[in-house]
Chain A
Amino acid sequence: MSDMMDDMEGGEGVVKKFMFVNRKAPHGTVYALEGLEVVLISAAFDQDVSMVFTDDGVYELIKGMNTKGIEVKDFSKTYRALEGYDIEKLYVEKASMDARGLSEDDLIVDVTVLDSAEMASLMAEQDVVISF
């Protein structure tokens, strides 16, 4: 991912609230992986970044993935590296976890669990919402 760190000019001190919304499961499609690449790049711009996991997006954070058998990159550990990029606002919608029989203990990183109304308010206060 460091091969993309080439074009970083032009923030001019503006700090916006960026929210990256993840609603898709990993591996079946590329959105989770390429979405994560955008989030990592965004760290270089000193913006107020949040990541949200709802619907099948919560599957991105499951512990114990092993992708050897499907011969694709295991990027799930990258979520643990987010803290090192100062991306610490990770939110999961409770209804989405419940609907999939999951709890916080099943997730690879510490997250803040929000009910749907809290998630709605958080979304409503963003400046930029990017969905994958």
Chain B
Amino acid sequence: MKIGIMVSEGPYNHQASDTAYLFARTAIEKGHKVPRVFFYHDGVNNSTKLTEPPQDDRHVVNRWSKLAEDHGVDLVVCVAAGMRRGIKDEILAPGFRISGLGQLVEAGIQCDRLVTFGD
């Protein structure tokens, strides 16, 4: 089954991105496809390579990048929400790309399920 995901909160402040990641990873392990994760609202802050958590903490951004690399998950950062918050191409972590809100609606149309993780 194709499961699309929307993440609406930034990393660390909220558990939303952690839950979304664990859900996505597990879905893939179970043989489902996660074609796209769409980052909206403060969720766009999950995409910056400038993120440097302490050594003993999980690296939320790198985890998403690895999921994209290993499983071809399309990590899309909303352009309008990103621009409001200073997220630009030059600071994107690997696997992320900036695009329009249409990508969220398209995920809703093309996936069998769309699951939202937020506050």
Contacts and interface: CB of A to CB of B under 8 A. Distances in A.
Interface residues of B, number: 21
A87 to B, nearest CB: 13
A44 B102 contact: yes
Contact of A3 (B80, B104, B106, B110): B80
* A interface residue count range (under 10 / 10 to 19 / 20 to 34 / 35 or more): 20 to 34
Interface string B7-23: 01000000000000000
Contact of A34 (B81, B108, B109, B110): B81
B102 A7 contact: yes
Interface of A: 1, 3-11, 14, 16, 18, 30-31, 34, 37-38, 41-42, 44-45, 47, 128-132
The 7 closest A-B pairs by CB, nearest first: A7-B100, A128-B108, A7-B102, A41-B101, A4-B100, A42-B105, A6-B100
